[in-house]
Amino acid sequence: MATGRTHRPATRSRGIPEATVARLPLYLRALTALSERSVPTVSSEELAAAAGVNSAKLRKDFSYLGSYGTRGVGYDVEYLVYQISRELGLTQDWPVVIVGIGNLGAALANYGGFASRGFRVAALIDADPGMAGKPVAGIPVQHTDDLEKIIQDNGVSIGVIATPAGAAQQVCDRLVAAGVTSILNFAPTVLTVPDGVDVRKVDLSIELQILAFHEQRKAGEETAAGDGAHPAAARDASSADQGPDGDVPAVMPA
Amino acid sequence: MATGRTHRPATRSRGIPEATVARLPLYLRALTALSERSVPTVSSEELAAAAGVNSAKLRKDFSYLGSYGTRGVGYDVEYLVYQISRELGLTQDWPVVIVGIGNLGAALANYGGFASRGFRVAALIDADPGMAGKPVAGIPVQHTDDLEKIIQDNGVSIGVIATPAGAAQQVCDRLVAAGVTSILNFAPTVLTVPDGVDVRKVDLSIELQILAFHEQRKAGEETAAGDGAHPAAARDASSADQGPDGDVPAVMPA
DNA sequence: TGCTGTGAATCGCTTCACAGCC
DNA sequence: GGCTGTGAAGCGATTCACAGCA
C-alpha cells in the first residue's frame, strides 16, 4: 500500500508478538478481578479460563514478558498485574481527547473503563458551536477551532475519533499535525496517516456482518444436516472463541 | 476451556478463511462508496487502497468467493457488491435486539450503519422500569421481563449486549435460552455460551491499551534513537494497516 | 507431584511471482 | 499490455508435549 517501504523492518526487534500484546489487556482484566477478590495466586489453567483463552497460549504469552510464575504453584496475582500494567504502559497517565461528541462520543466520555486504566479524558471536542460549553460526563465540550491548542496544552498523544465518516480524515490530519501519534477510529473510513502514527479502528457494523455470515451458515447447515431448530438445551458451555482474538489484531506500529 | 471438545472441528469445512470473512465487510464498504459515485469497474489495486489492504491479499480473498473479475480489466463494482452481500448473508433481513440502553446502547440504537446493511433494530431492552416506554431512536424501550417474548415474536437470532459487566452473563443466558445464536458483546466480560452460539466482543478499553503499548514504545525509542519530538512533517502517507482487521473489533459514528 | 517455561511441530494467513486470459 | 487468479514459498502464531524446577 502507499509507499513501497519494506514494510515493518523495525518494530520487530526485541519484541513481544503483536498477537500477545492484543491479549495482555484481557489477562489484565481477569487478573484485576481476581485481585479484587483478594485471590493471591492463580494457575495458568485458571487464569486462561477467566480470560477466555487456552492455557498453553497464556503461558507462551507470559514467557515473552519473562518468567513471572512459580513452577508447581502458579502466578502471583498482584505481581502479574503490575508487570502487565508496566508492559502495556499503563503505569503512566495518558491524556486522551475525544473528537465528535454525538451519541457515541458521549458514551465514550462516560465510559468507566478508561480512568481505571490510566486513561484520562483531557478534553471533548465537537464541531457544533451549539455544543460548546455544554458539559458531557462532567467535562465541558470545546469547539474544534481550539483543537490544536488543546492537544498541545495537554500534551495529548492519543486521540479518539467519533465523528461522522465524512469528517474523520480531516480531524485525523489536524490531530496528527498537532502532535497526536495514536488514533482510535470509530468512523467507518480508512484513515491515511504518516509513518509513525498508529491507527486502530472499531467498526460495529463490521462485527455484525461477521456474525451474520456465520449465522447464515448455521441456518444452511440446519436444513442440510437436519438438526432441531432452537438449541436451548445442549449446555456444553464451551466458551467459544470470543471475537477477534484469533483474528489477528493488527495494529501497526509504523 | 470448559469442556475438552476438540475445539471447533466443524466450521472449517468447505469454508472461506476466517481472516477473509473479517475483511469482506471492509471491501463491501469501499465498493458501496464506489457504487455511489457510479464507478463501474475497479482494479484490485484501487479497491485494495480504498479498503486499506494490499492487492495480493484482496485478490486471494476474492478467489475464495469465485472468479468475479475480468483479467486485464478489473471487477464490476455492482456485481461484486451483490456477491459479497450475498456471501455475508446481507441480502436478507436480520432483526436485532439491543439489551442495555445506557449511553452506549443508545448510541448503537441510533447508529445508521445497521439499517443500510440489512440489520433492523427490532427492539431495545433495559432492566430499568423507568426507561420502559421511553423512545430511543424512535423505538420504545421495553423491560427485561419481556425479553423472551420479544426474541420469539420477532424471530431474533442476533443480540447485542451493552449492559454493565455484572449483568452480561445473565442477559446472555436468557438470550441464548430464548433462541439467540449470535451475540455481539460490549460488556467487558468473557461470556460463556453453549456450542453453536457465536460471540464476538468489542472492548474499547482494550484497543486503547494496545495503542498505549505502542505509544510507550515510541517514546522510548525517541529518547534512545534521538529523533525529533513531534512529527508534523513526514507526510509519507502510508495508510498503515488499519486496526483489528484480521482481528477484530468494531463500531460506529453516531 | 504439580505446574511453569519452552523447543519443536503444526497450522493458517500473507506475500510472492507468474501463468493465463482479456 | 494489463490485470486477474493461484500455486508455492515465507512467516507468524498456535498447539503440542515434555523437560525443569519448586
H/E stretch holding B97 reads strand B94-99
Q: What is the pLDDT, as a whole number, of residue B220?
A: 76
The shortest CB-CB distance from A206 to any of B108, B215, B250 is to B250
Enter the C-alpha cell of residue B168. Answer: 452480561
Q: If you ran DSSP here, which 8-state letter would residue A242 be given?
A: B
pTM across the whole model: 0.87
Q: What is the pLDDT, as a whole number, of residue B222?
A: 61
Is A2 a domain residue? no
Q: What is the pLDDT, as a whole number, of residue B13?
A: 35
Q: What is the pLDDT, as a whole number, of residue B134?
A: 97
pLDDT along chain B (254 residues), means of 10: 32 73 98 98 98 98 97 98 98 97 96 93 98 97 98 98 97 98 98 97 96 92 48 38 40 29
Q: What is the pLDDT, as a whole number, of residue A251?
A: 34
Model confidence band, residue A11 (pLDDT cutoffs 50, 70, 90) = very low
Distance of CA A66 to the CA centre of its chain: 23
How distant is C1' of D15 from CA of A75, in Å? Answer: 22
Q: What is the pLDDT, as a whole number, of residue B219?
A: 82
Q: What is the pLDDT, as a whole number, of residue B7?
A: 33
Q: If you average pLDDT over residues A203-216, what whole number do you get?
A: 96
A226 pLDDT more than 70: no
Of A49, A71, A87, which one is at a domain's C-terminal end? A87
The shortest CB-CB distance from B89 to any of A53, A199, A212 is to A212
Q: What is the pLDDT, as a whole number, of residue A164?
A: 96
| Per-residue pLDDT reduced to its tens digit, A29-75 | 999 999 999 999 999 999 999 999 999 999 999 999 999 999 999 99
Consult the annotation and say whether A105 binds a ligand: yes
Distance of CA B236 to the CA centre of its chain: 29
Is A120 a domain residue? yes
Is A171 a domain residue? yes
Domain CATH number, residue A159: 3.40.50.720
- Which chain B residues in 44-63 sit with Cβ < 7 A of strand C? 54, 56-57, 59-60
Is A9 a domain residue? no
Q: 3-state class of B10 per DSSP?
A: coil
Is B4 a domain residue? no
A225 lies in the same domain as A148: no
A4 pLDDT more than 70: no
The shortest CB-CB distance from A51 to any of B190, B237, B241 is to B190
Polymer length of chain B: 254
Which chain B positions have a beta carbon within 8 Å of A131's beta carbon?
none
How distant is C1' of C22 from CA of B78, in Å? Answer: 20
Q: What is the pLDDT, as a whole number, of residue B224?
A: 53
Of A87, A121, A142, which one is at a domain's C-terminal end? A87
Parent domain of B249: 209-254
Backbone angles phi, psi at A82, to 5 degrees: -65, -50
Domain CATH number, residue B83: 1.10.10.10
Q: Is A151 on the interface with B (CB under 8 A)?
A: no
Nearest to A10 by CA among A184, A196, A139, A179: A196
A55 touches strand C (CB under 7 A): yes
Q: What is the pLDDT, as a whole number, of residue A219?
A: 82
Q: What percent of chain A has pLDDT over 90?
A: 78
Which chain A positions have a beta carbon within 8 Å of B179's beta carbon?
230-232
Contact between B88 and A209 using a beta-carbon 8 Å cutoff: yes
Q: Is A78 on the interface with B (CB under 8 A)?
A: no
B233 lies in the same domain as B146: no
| Per-residue pLDDT reduced to its tens digit, A142-171 | 999 999 999 999 999 999 999 999 999 999
Backbone angles phi, psi at A94, to 5 degrees: -115, 105
Contact between A104 and B188 using a beta-carbon 8 Å cutoff: no
B160 lies in the same domain as B234: no
Which chain B positions have a beta carbon within 8 Å of A157's beta carbon?
215
Q: What is the pLDDT, as a whole number, of residue B242?
A: 55
From CA B60, how far away is CA B56, in angstroms rounded?
6
B197 lies in the same domain as B213: no
Residue A93 CB-density burial (10 A; 0-12 exposed, 13-18 middle, 19+ buried): exposed
Contact between B212 and A118 using a beta-carbon 8 Å cutoff: yes
| Per-residue pLDDT reduced to its tens digit, A75-120 | 999 999 999 999 999 999 999 999 999 999 999 999 989 999 999 9
B99 lies in the same domain as B178: yes
Q: In terms of DSSP bridges, do strands A119-126 and A74-76 run parallel, antiparallel, or are they unpaired?
A: unpaired
From CA A27, how far away is CA A44, in angstroms rounded?
11
B42 lies in the same domain as B106: no
